[in-house]
Amino acid sequence: PLLVEQALKVCEQHLGSLRHQDIDEDSPSPCMTDTEWDHFLRNYYHVVREEAGLVLSGEQRNRCQELLQQLAEYLPQLGMEGDHNVWIIKPGAQSQGRGIICTTQLEEVLQLARGRRASLAQARDWVVQKYVERPMLIFGTKFDIRQWFLVTDWNPLTIWFYGESYLRFCSKPFSLHHLGQAQHLCNVSVQKRFKLDPDLHPQLPHDRIWSCHQFQEYLAQVGRAGVWHQVMVPTMKAVVVGALHSIQDLVGSQKGSFELYGADFLIGEDCQPWLLEINACPSMAPSSAVTRRLCASVQQDVLRVVIDRRDNPTCSTGAFELIYKQ
């Protein structure tokens, strides 16, 4: 009961901060001392790692449910975070999934960062993100979406969104009890190192790639026919525009230049897309029949936008749609 009570106090203080109730306090006092926090973490890890049981009173159970409902109003990601405490760690300025690991332990995150700092020659930045523990799965397998977009000007910001995308599947069924790359990293360059798990559903593609049209057919089969055009695509467009707005002043650009980007999205259980990262210079090397067709089409349509349209503003831009011009 003490562990639950401590968790409730911490979350109540966090909720108060989200509601700006601490705005007039000079220095809000913490709920726990450092020693109490270390003790709390040890007990917490017993629960999440060793399946120790929690003992809740009826009052505590009601407070937990009420508090979670209140937190959900302020934390849009709460529903997909899960309860396994999984975090994903990515080395900065790397590509193709190199050096990415998943962990459930704060000590492992800190040890990794400290180990890299020990040698200046190996020093690098790290990105540590809360892992999406409740993604949408297809036949029990994790996937993500590679979505292209084109920036033809940063001032005024001008964004073109590609009308087709593709899905990348993992090679093994999704499991939070196994945090290997085969189950959790959808990068083509990572998954090509693994053989397909014999337990995978037979309808999953052997080359681990689906087109967005195949995805729409699957959504229709599971009773979600309209969600692609009504929820997923509009949200991905809004996220791309918002992400580029946030770094517009930091990008050095020249007139007459352009850049093609590849955004990676994960879909939650509620069909909401979440942006994982945006890749500059996305690989255009075909790895399947789907990408062989799409990569060629994307490159051809880029030339239509940046060259043909300069002389003929009414010409076809292929599958590129102008979604934002400042």
Residue 295: which CATH number?
Answer: 3.30.470.20
Please check whether residue 97 is in contact with residue 185, taking contact to mean a CB–CB distance below 8 angstroms.
Answer: yes
Residues 42 and 147 grouped into a single domain: no
Question: Which residues does the chain have with pLDDT short of 50?
Answer: 118-121
* Domain assignment present for 82: no
What pLDDT is stored for residue 19 in this prediction? 92
What pLDDT is stored for residue 125 in this prediction? 79
Residues 43 and 151 grouped into a single domain: no
What pLDDT is stored for residue 141 in this prediction? 96
Distance of CA 245 to the CA centre of its chain: 19
* Domain assignment present for 271: yes
State which H helix or E strand residue 321 sits in.
strand 320-325
* Domain assignment present for 184: yes
Residue indicated by tokens 């639950």: 4
Residue where one domain finishes, among candidates 112, 130, 148: 130
Residues 210 and 66 grouped into a single domain: no
Residues 116 and 100 grouped into a single domain: yes
Residues 6+ away with beta carbon under 8 Å from 200: 139, 141, 171, 172, 173
* Domain assignment present for 81: no
Instruction: Give the orientation angle of helix 58-74 with respect to helix 2-18, to 10 degrees.
Output: 30
* Domain assignment present for 304: yes
What pLDDT is stored for residue 116 in this prediction? 55
What pLDDT is stored for residue 124 in this prediction? 66
* Domain assignment present for 252: yes
- Count of domains forming the chain: 3
Range of the domain at 14: 1-73
What pLDDT is stored for residue 122 in this prediction? 57
What pLDDT is stored for residue 214 in this prediction? 97
Residues 5 and 55 grouped into a single domain: yes
Residues 144 and 190 grouped into a single domain: yes
Neighbours of 268 (CB within 10 A): 16
pTM of the model: 0.87
